[in-house]
Structure 1
Amino acid sequence: MDHIYQHFRNEEKQFIDQVLEWKDIVLNQYSPKLTDFLDPREQEIVASVIGENLDIKVMFSGGVQDTERKRAFIYPDYYQPHEEDFQLTLFEIHYASKFVSLQHRQVLGSLMSLGLKRSKFGDIRFYEEVVQFVCASEIADYLRANFYEIGRAKVTLKEMSVEKLIPHVEDVQEIVTTVSSLRLDVVCSAIYTISRQKIQPLITNGLVKVNWKTVDSVSFECREGDTLSVRGFGRSKLVSMEGKTKKDRFRVIIHKQK
């Protein structure tokens, strides 16, 4: 068991235990298991843990191929999975777009104010005045009956085929730089060109996430592949570490969303 944990951070142990429990359910009951929506890091963990077993397999889907948040479908090797197994529903939000401008945080906040967990929702996407979101089909009827406003704006939902989810377009800037250490405050300071004195309070106040989880320790050590986000400054990814310079600094390549 310990050989699994050694590949992950200590704070990920609880989720790994959950994945191991899902695996045991599928092995013991010999029937599939559908999870809630997982962020990309959680998907990596599930794929890694399940991948060690030849008797069961895993697939992911969030509606279309480029979705960020996806449900995992863990199944015995005899089972042939279908897209319907993921139980996904796509809603388009209709609102008075001439008078109201919606933002991601407003949509998500209003959805969760209904007493629903974030894990019941997939991607929320915008294109000009069109707003769509994916949810678990088991809450679709509840949303139809109870989701009718975002802030003070009245809204209605129209169910769409999941294949019609708005395409995701990511525009990133590649940054090649060096850092004195891989501490979270040092890395964020280099990415967002903010002094460590200014970035540290953002971290300790819970405004910084690593791999979609809040991290409030300035000395948290970043790793290659980590996705970082600072509220108000955007998201970035530590794509690779290219060794050290003669001055013993880490050379890193960053992809920062524009």
Structure 2
Amino acid sequence: MVEELSFLNKEEVSFYKMLEEKVLISNRRNSYEETDFLDPFWQKMLISIANKYDGVSVSFFGAFNNAERCVGVIYNDYLPVPIEDEYMSVLAFDSKFDDVKHKDVLGKLMSMGIERETVGDIIFYKDACFFSVKKSVESFLLSQFQDIRRHSVSLYSVDGEGLKVVESEKTTEVIIAASLRADLLVAKIYNIKRNIATSMISKGLMKLDYRVFTRGDRQVELPALISLRGYGRVYVDEVVGRTGSDNLKIKLRREVYS
């Protein structure tokens, strides 16, 4: 156990133990135990925990095709496979507003007292915004979510099965950087000053592969997913060559929804 948790920080160890407790309860009581929405890192950790116990399975539900954030449901193999609609809902509103972005939707939900852990992926697709939430907050949101950025909206439930066709597109570009040092790379990716990148990283505002990363002087191993609070996220794939002055040519992908 000690070796398994040695790479986690104190907060992550607490979260790991909470997931482990859910697995133990499910195994002991032969019950269904659900988590909040988990990112891919914690989905893998939950699978690792469940694999320690014979006959324990985990199903993940995220509504969208290739969903990133998913609710995990832990159960014994002999029980019926859980049904997605019992644990989460997909809500939507028509959105033809150019000024409404992902961060606006998330900010609106947070301002209403909705915890981030109860919200899954937020997708803009064909003049509408879709987002998945835990079943426990569906009724409240349907009655109270009435506007966003001064625009009046009407929230409605959507059949999640119909959203399996939603897939992300990625724009590809190449940037030039002297090295893969984190603060330098972040500055180049987001076109900000290096001292600003260094400060944001040290404050815990950067995530590397879904985990908080605070060492701006460390090299980033590729491929990697980098996100910076307020600036979005980027898939950093590989070094594709060097310039005449020996700087690195680095391929990036930015995720967009049409």
My pick for the range that moved more, 120-129 or 226-235, is 226-235
Structure-2 residue corresponding to 1:80: 80
Q: What do residues 8-45 of structure 1 show as CA deviations (whole Å, max 9, x unaligned)? A: 43353222112211111112212111111111221122
- Tell me, which stretches of 5 or more residues in structure 2 are unaligned? 240-247
Structure-2 residue corresponding to 1:4: 4
Distance 1:88 1:256 in 2: 30
How far apart are 1:220 and its partner, in Å? 5.5
Distance 2:249 2:29 in 1: 46
Structure-2 residue corresponding to 1:53: 53
My pick for the range that moved more, 128-137 or 81-90, is 81-90
Distance 1:53 1:240 in 2: 38
Q: Secondary structure of the equivalent of 1:67?
A: coil
Distance 1:84 1:201 in 2: 41
Q: 1:68 to 1:26 in 2, by over 3 A?
A: same
Q: Secondary structure of the equivalent of 1:65?
A: coil
Q: Secondary structure of the equivalent of 1:256?
A: strand
CA contact (8 A) 1:125 1:168 kept: no
Q: What do residues 71-125 of structure 1 show as CA deviations (whole Å, max 9, x unaligned)? A: 0011112122133465221112136x3x664111111111121111011111111
| Residues 69-218 of structure 1: pairs in structure 2 closer than 5 A | 69-84=69-84, 86-94=86-94, 97=96, 101-165=99-163, 167-173=166-172, 183-189=181-187, 191=189, 196-218=194-216
CA contact (8 A) 1:174 1:254 kept: yes
Superposition misfits of 4+ residues, deviation over 4 angstroms? 174-181, 189-195, 220-226, 238-241, 251-255
Structure-1 residue corresponding to 2:253: 256
Distance 1:25 1:190 in 2: 47
CA contact (8 A) 1:73 1:85 kept: no
Distance 2:33 2:254 in 1: 34
Whether 2:15 is the aligned partner of 1:18: answer: no
Distance 2:2 2:212 in 1: 25
How far apart are 1:199 and its partner, in Å? 2.2
Distance 2:188 2:207 in 1: 16
Q: CA RMSD in A?
A: 3.3
Q: What do residues 105-150 of structure 1 show as CA deviations (whole Å, max 9, x unaligned)? A: 1111111211110111111111242111111112111112211111
- Tell me, which stretches of 5 or more residues in structure 1 are unaligned? 242-250
Distance 2:18 2:35 in 1: 11
My pick for the range that moved more, 169-178 or 131-140, is 169-178
Structure-2 residue corresponding to 1:235: 233
CA contact (8 A) 1:4 1:49 kept: no
CA contact (8 A) 1:185 1:199 kept: yes
How many residues align? The count is 248
Instruction: Look up the equivalent residue of 2:119 and give its one-letter code.
Output: F
Q: Provide the identity percentage.
A: 29
How far apart are 1:236 and its partner, in Å? 2.6
Q: TM-score, normalised by structure 2?
A: 0.79
Structure-2 residue corresponding to 1:43: 43
Q: 1:43 to 1:255 in 2, by over 3 A?
A: farther
Q: 1:154 to 1:253 in 2, by over 3 A?
A: same
My pick for the range that moved more, 223-232 or 144-153, is 223-232
